Structure 1
Amino acid sequence: MDLQLNGKRALVTGSSTGLGEEIAKVLAAEGAAVVVHGRDEARATAVAQAIRQDGGEATVAIGDLGTDAGADAVRAASGADGPVDILVNNLGTYNPAAAWVTTPPADWSEIYNTNVVSSVRTIQRFVPDMRERGWGRVIQISSVLGELPMASQPHYAATNAARNNLAASLARELKHTGVTSNSVAAGGILTPGTQAYLLDLGKRNGWGETWEEIEPTAVGALAPNDVGRIGRRRDYADLVAFLASPLSGYITGTTLRVDGGWYDA
């Protein structure tokens, strides 16, 4: 399927590693010019170079979106080679060990700034131009925990509920403009770090010795879903690419859960 992304420019926040990196690479492979964002210039540059080596177009924007000054720097770098048509707010942080009794209010404020207010900063800097041109795509990457929170990580779950609400509110603001706003609520995401952690956890709990043995039990214990596995980065990146394309013009104001049918255990 041709996603008609040739000639479009996409900024993917937090794309120097992990899911953001995968999203940037998929968008570039589909023909979009991609802006790779991060705070570590070496890592962001390496991702951009990999995209260019594969025949794609990529530039780099460095800045801390947790501050207004950092967001201004990202705005300047991202717009240097043309306007941004697609904004993927992927940047986020979490702490699996966080609990109600051990997470002070300051930590709530800090994670809210990173996971929610950083998106507000990019939206305010890039969306007005999209509205003026009459076309654009804004996509929030959130988590299914925004809808199905657990006792642990309460501040993280709350930020994801806010991300989804933000996307819906923005869609109302942008009605009849040609700019859409949606959220992708992710289930588990398999990264090298996650896999290493689960392999160690599985061996210590007697779930097996290999990834093939451990994954089904880990899913059942930590993130039960109807598919029975952890989501791969490409599972999410392909959907983001579709939402970023002109083909998704009738989808706005919604949160799409990509979680294998995650359910409460």
Structure 2
Amino acid sequence: MDFGIHGKVAVVTGGDSGIGLATAKLLAQEGVKIALLDKTADRLDEALQDLQTVGEAMAVQADLRHLSEVEAAKRNIVNHYGHVDILVNCAGITGATGDFLDISDDDWLETLEVDLMAAVRVCRTFIPLMRETGWGRVVLVASEDAVQPYADEMPYCAAKAGVLNFAKNLSKAYASDGVLVNSVAPAFIATPMTDTMMEQRAEKMETDVDEAITTFLDQKRPHLELKRRGKAEEVAAVIAFLCSQQSSFVVGANYRVDGGSVAGIGL
């Protein structure tokens, strides 16, 4: 299938690993020029070297909690490529977990800063560039947690629910300008974030990571029908479609890539 996006420029946040890097690679294979954004220099440099074996790419170090760094990243990207057509926001953290009564205001605010407000900042920064050309694609990565509550992950759940609502509102605001906004909601994907979760679980259970994953699926994700962690590439495939010309009539949608993990028929 020809995605029709050869020569477009994509900004991918959280691009140094996981879903972000897998998405950048797939887009690069389609001839898209990539700007990777992340805050850790060493991992970002490694990701860039990997990505440049596939296609044209640059890396920009930026902490999305700070608007000044997001704006500086935009200037850097525009100076290099001249324009931006696609924004994929993959940056995120698990945030504080545990009993609600033990989670502090600071814990909540840290999670909201990274998982919700970072999306707000990058959209406010890059959407105007797309409106100028009359063509754009924005994909915000949410989570199954946005619609399926987990009592020990409340800040993350709330932030990702906010991302879904934010994406829907953006889709209403800018579709008439040619900027199509959608979201993707993965569940339990094999990424550095879930690696850390499973390593911590294994240590707590005094077992190995494989057993930690198996028991997590049984006890915490019983509706994940495929009984395995998803692959970053499986999420990237859906994101790439939403970035393409082939998604020209998809606006304000949320695509779940969750192995069946969400039990209901909601969003």
178-187 vs 89-98, which moves further? 89-98
8 A contact 1:39–1:63 mirrored in 2:
yes
Report the residue type matching 1:229 in the other structure: R
State the alpha-carbon separation in 1 of the partners of residues 19 and 129 from structure 2.
Answer: 26
8 A contact 2:93–2:193 mirrored in 1:
no
Q: 1:143 to 1:65 in 2, by over 3 A?
A: same
Structure 2 SS opposite 1:230? coil
State the alpha-carbon separation in 2 of the partners of residues 151 and 210 from structure 1.
Answer: 23
Q: 1:192 to 1:99 in 2, by over 3 A?
A: same
250-259 vs 214-223, which moves further? 214-223
Q: State the TM-score, normalized to the length of structure 1.
A: 0.90
- Uncovered stretches (5+) of structure 2, i.e. residues with no partner: none
Q: 1:165 to 1:57 in 2, by over 3 A?
A: same
Partner of residue 165, structure 2: 165
Structure 2 SS opposite 1:91? coil
8 A contact 2:22–2:233 mirrored in 1:
yes
8 A contact 1:19–1:233 mirrored in 2:
yes
Using the TM superposition, give the Cα deviation of residue 206 of structure 1 relative to its aligned residue in structure 2, in angstroms: 9.3
RMSD (Å) for aligned C-alpha atoms: 2.3
Give 4+ residue runs of structure 1 displaced > 6 Å after superposition: none
8 A contact 2:20–2:90 mirrored in 1:
yes
Structure 1 SS opposite 2:52? helix
The number of aligned residues is 262
Question: 1:206-248 CA distances to partner (integer Å, 9 max, x unpaired)?
Answer: 99x784x765543222222122221111110111111011110
Question: 1:23-53 CA distances to partner (integer Å, 9 max, x unpaired)?
Answer: 1111112211110111122321221121112
8 A contact 1:18–1:191 mirrored in 2:
yes
Q: Does 1:232 align with 2:231?
A: yes
- Trace 1:109-120 onto structure 2 (pairs within 5 A): 109-120=109-120
Partner of residue 219, structure 2: 221
Q: 1:29 to 1:196 in 2, by over 3 A?
A: same
- Trace 1:76-155 onto structure 2 (pairs within 5 A): 76-80=75-79, 81-95=81-95, 97-155=97-155
236-245 vs 219-228, which moves further? 219-228
Q: State the TM-score, normalized to the length of structure 2.
A: 0.89
Q: 1:153 to 1:132 in 2, by over 3 A?
A: same
Using the TM superposition, give the Cα deviation of residue 90 of structure 1 relative to its aligned residue in structure 2, in angstroms: 0.9
- Trace 1:178-257 onto structure 2 (pairs within 5 A): 178-191=178-191, 194-195=194-195, 198=198, 201=201, 211=210, 215-224=213-222, 225-257=224-256
Report the residue type matching 1:29 in the other structure: Q
